[in-house]
Structure 1
Amino acid sequence: MANSGKGTFQPDSDVHISYEDQQKINKFARLNAKVDDLKDELKIKLNDVKNLEEAVEELSLADDTEKIPYLVGEVFICQNLEDTMKSLEENKTKRQAEISEIEAKCEELKSQMSELKAHLYGKFGSHINLENEED
């Protein structure tokens, strides 16, 4: 078929990807996948903290003499209100520390990704797309 002249698409014949460049592209993809996994884990941890806060609020209305069932592993144990509140606060503190750790890992990975992105865009320009659909 003859070319109509409307869209003269030419393959990227002028773009040559070296082995090192391919390794950088692969590293970027792995880092991006890891960041996505950490974001999912972060959502779960944030939800856990929210649930713990709601539990503390609900228990503030409870009677001091009640025994409160508290899930530890796969079993419930009955604790008094003070011990249950202490356990909830400990779990909340633990989750918040985990959240901080995940956020720090994400920032470190994003820093590495921005270095790779700058190098790859500098070399390939518009011939490469390293942006997330979410961004």
Structure 2
Amino acid sequence: MSTQTVQKGAFSPESDVHVTREDQGKINKFARLNANLQDLQDEIKNKENGMKNLEDASDELLMVDDEADLIPYMVGDVFFHATLDDTKVKLEAAKDELTREMEELNAKGSRCKEEMAILKRDLYAKFGDNINLEPDED
């Protein structure tokens, strides 16, 4: 009989755990959800940066003295000029839209986390230390 040292969390071929097709499906679904969650978090970060830019633009508008001046406002790759009041309205509308989008992304992220928690519970119950579903710490 040979003695082997098995690291915690490492797969041991002598273990009595067998991976069924259903188990593999759960593992694959967990991986897809994890990838989707990462994408959602990146998208939320981008939206937060966009919100910061809109807040900065709103702050800059507070320093405008003359309401007769036309304010350059960028839409896509093009600037157009609008009055101070119109620009403020457009900025508020853009902030409201961005807030709504971020709320939707956060809700999707929460649903992903809930599904992942259920899958994680099931997979750890069956495989114990033979599976690692925790994110790598870099």
Q: TM-score, normalization: structure 2?
A: 0.89
2:60 corresponds to 1:41: no
Aligned mates of 2:101, 2:79 — CA distance in 1: 24
Q: How does 1:121-132 map to 2 (within 5 A)?
A: 121-132=124-135
Q: Distance in 2 between matches of 1:106 and 1:75?
A: 33
TM-score w.r.t. the length of structure 1 is: 0.91
Q: Which structure 1 segments of 5+ residues have no match?
A: none
Q: How far has the Cα of 1:127 moved from its partner?
A: 0.4
1:12 Cα shift?
2.6
Per-residue CA deviation, residues 39-87 of structure 1 (Å, 9 max, x unaligned), is: 0000000111111011000111112121111111221110011100110
SS of structure 1 residue aligned to 2:80: strand
Is residue 2:71 matched to residue 1:74?
Answer: no
Partners in 2 of 1:18 and 1:112 — Cα distance? 20
| Alignment-derived partner of residue 13 in structure 2 | 12
Q: Percent identity?
A: 48
Distance 1:132 1:81 in 2: 48
SS at match of 2:128: helix
State the superposition RMSD in angstroms.
Answer: 1.8
Q: Unpaired runs of 5+ in structure 2?
A: none
From 51, 54, 72, the equivalent of 2:53 is 51
Q: CA shift at 1:132, angstroms?
A: 1.0
CA distance in 2, matches of 1:132, 1:11: 21
The CA distance in 2 between the partners of 1:70 and 1:61, in whole Å, is 16
Question: Shift of the alpha carbon at 1:117?
Answer: 0.3
- Alignment check: 8 A CA contact 2:40 2:109 kept: yes
Aligned residue in 1 for 2:123? 120
How many residues in Structure 1 have an aligned counterpart in Structure 2? 131
Letter in 2 for 1:12: P
Match of 1:28, as an amino acid? F
Higher relative contact order (CA 8 A, sep 6+): 2
